[in-house]
Structure 1
Amino acid sequence: MKILIATDTYPQQLNGVSRVLDKTYRELKKRGHEVRILSADDCTAFPWPGYQEVKIAVFPGRRVARIVDDFSPDAIHIMTEGPVGWAVRGYCKQRGLRFTTSWLSRLSEYVSIRYKIPVSWLHNLLLRFHQSAAQTMVTTDGMASEAKIMGITRVCYWRRGVELEKFRPVQTTIFEDLPRPIMLNVGRVAIEKSLDRFLSIDLPGTKVIVGDGPQLNALKRKFPAAVYLGVREGEKLTECYSGADVFVFPSLTDTFGLVNLEALACGLPVAAYPVTGPKDIIGNAPVGVLHEDLKVAIKRALLLNGEDCIAHARTFTWDVATEDFISSLVPARMEQPAAVEF
């Protein structure tokens, strides 16, 4: 197939959505599909205030129309609800084309937290956006339930995988000079990640933050005892996971949390709140502890077995995730019924 995927975050930002799309793109190409990523990079764009590495497309409608016309896709998927996503949605509705969407983040909550916009207004926009789609892809049972409560009725699954060839236990001395246990967090350093909940916990050992983002300097000033390593990729990131003792995921709003899978694949147990995302990844497996008191979750997770974590992570494969995506796509153009002669 010729598949067009529209996104507002790829490839400028190091986040879960972009990493999922990058891996899916490569898996689709391996299967022989022709894929066109339509992003803010294809349009006139400016940096998002407070997120300088993220570009926001400005009036992308005409440019989007030319790109889609030239590519003439068999299937269209809109991955994000930003200006590019809305422009592609508008294009499809004007031309009577069918498309799918994905609901992969709580964008309405994030915008509400940062800009003090009533979340109910944003939920209404999201409902309008996704209800126009033939199907909306979600990652977990928890998100499927939330989507239906919001009023998004045509829901299907696009599960997640982990790159087991990349994320696996390795020998490392990266944290050998730091007091144990090493409590690690990896991801965007932003207010919606609730990192202050983690960093304010009084426990012996060392808290390590891997990542960058708009809240980084504020956290450094408020919690100077923590270790801030900035962005780590490739083998350096794998060493961080492998060298730590517990992975702490304090977010209350993430819809999945791909970093949890990466940690588990490296043999690192997870401590998190019992919310959508961690609940769906961990379930009843002895690979993490979910508790309303994050301090309790950390202390209990430190007792878990790394081999169980690795085995659990291996049940999440990109083959399955990519097949989910392909099977959930719909033909952009409905086949016209053959004329019947009388």
Structure 2
Amino acid sequence: MAEFGRKICIVSDAWAPQVNGVVRTLETLRSKLKARGYRVYMVTPKWFRTMPCPTYPEIPLALDARWKLPKLMSRIDADAVHIATEGPLGWAARRWCVHNGVPFTTAYHTAFPEYVEARTPLSADLLYPIFRRFHAAGSGVLVATATVRDLLRAKGFTNIVDWTRGVDTAQFHADVGDAEWGFEGPVQLYVGRVAVEKNIEAFLEADTPGTKVVVGDGPAMAKLQAAYPDVKFLGPLFGEALAKAYASADVFVFPSKTDTFGLVMIEALACGTPVAAYPVQGPLDVLGPDGTGPFTDWHEPIAALSEDLTAAINTALTRDRKACAEFAKKYDWDEVARQFEAALQWQDEGAEAPEVQAETYTP
């Protein structure tokens, strides 16, 4: 065992400066694992030559992963490997692990087959066998919700492991303060990538009074700005500014029909802002079909789900903000880190995750 605890290597094609739920999840996970005493190494595009992803230039794709990654993985010599994404780095890491007999886990963060289907003529059904092959080589594929678990099982995926999500309530909370926008209310907020698969136009077309606000960036930004001049496009926000944006809105609108979880919904709730969404995967698992969430000991509505997004927005505006903030506390990051730790496959076969001390080492 290393002097300061075992080494965990997380490979991800998604990393800063990208702004999305996968990146925020992995950033928080890294800090939690390090606090538990692990040495955490992130293998991300920043170590490689990259090119912009076609149709999505904000995402850098590693060009030299196949040749450079093996040396990097050998040098790290991790006790456990987790492959978070199915991009060039993910495939290169999978190849290295299989070739060297190194066990690893994977995660299904994003419904990539559906994303590709939304952007290209390719059908999601044609892509699922490729993704099934990718994940089948690992010892476990981590999924955030029951809906995704059932979907992947129906598609022939095996070794599925539940791994919930959490919210950083030290950053996102109802007392964070107001953004002082001065917009006419009710203020309806969207936060996330500004891209076709997020179905943002459904939100912008909703027949509701007040002001619609979009926080984020992406390939659809220019088109939407031109089509909806009355909408306030604020670009990406971070840290306290993002938390204040959540807290200043009267309702958070989540129009996506393809997200597997939707971390932004929990962040908004933590800031006391109710959520309006469609009754699809992600919202159903996080918010519950009746807007009271999935927990048996909670019955207060904190969201509204409807096939009519305008109706969902109007209903969500009636939800109690204090209840929203209290509900979000159920998504605890310590439990997220514990589940991830328990799912890891350690190189010394059959070993349990060790008891480690508070972190004293920063790689």
Judge same fold: TM > 0.5, yes or no. Answer: yes
Q: Superposed, which structure 2 residues align to 1:37-52 within 5 Å?
A: 37-52=42-57
Q: 1:105 aligns with which of 107, 110, 132?
A: 110
Q: How many angstroms does 1:168 deviate by?
A: 1.0
TM-score under structure 2 length normalisation: 0.90
Name the structure 2 match of 1:340: none
Please tell me whether the aligned partners of residues 98 and 333 of structure 1 are also in contact (alpha carbons under 8 angstroms): no
Q: Distance in 2 between matches of 1:53 and 1:190?
A: 11
2:63 counterpart (47, 58, 73): 58
**In the superposition, relative to structure 1, how do residues 97 and 246 fare at CA in structure 2: closer, same or farther (>3 Å)?**
same
- Secondary structure class of the residue paired with 2:60: strand
Equivalence for 1:11: 16
Task: Map 1:84-233 onto structure 2 (within 5 A).
Answer: 84-169=89-174, 170-172=176-178, 174-176=180-182, 178-233=183-238
Q: 1:237 aligns with which of 220, 228, 242?
A: 242
Deviation of 1:58 (Å): 1.4
2:58 touches 2:218 (CA, 8 Å); kept in 1? no
Cα deviation, 1:155-208, whole Å, max 9, x if unaligned, reads: 1111111111111123325232x2211111011100000000110111111111
Q: Distance in 1 between matches of 2:31 and 2:38?
A: 10
Deviations 1:9-34 (A, max 9, x none): 11231111011000001111111101
Who is 2:279 aligned against?
Answer: 274
Give deviations 1:41-72, integer Å, cap 9, x for gaps: 22221111233232101141221110111111
The total of aligned residue pairs comes to 335
Match of 1:263 in 2: 268
Which of 303, 316, 322 is equivalent to 1:301? 316
Question: Is the Cα contact below 8 Å between 1:175 and 1:244 reproduced in 2?
Answer: no
Name the SS of the counterpart of 2:240 in structure 1. helix
Shift of 1:111: 1.6
Q: Which residue of the partner structure matches residue 315 of structure 1? A: 330
1:228 alignment partner, SS class:
strand
TM-score, normalised by the number of residues in structure 1:
0.95
Of 114-123 and 245-254, deviating more is 114-123
Q: Please tell me the residue identity of whatever aligns with 2:177.
A: Q
For structure 2, which runs of at least 5 residues remain unmatched after alignment?
A: 1-5, 293-300, 352-363
Please tell me whether the aligned partners of residues 5 and 37 of structure 1 are also in contact (alpha carbons under 8 angstroms).
Answer: yes
SS of equivalent to 1:171: coil
SS in 1 for 2:103: coil
Cα distance 1:66–1:333, how it changes in 2: closer, same or farther (>3 A)?
farther
Q: CA RMSD in A?
A: 1.4
Runs of at least 4 residues of structure 1 off by over 4 A? none
Is 1:290 the counterpart of 2:305? The answer is yes
| Structure 2: distance between partners of 1:281 and 1:223 | 30
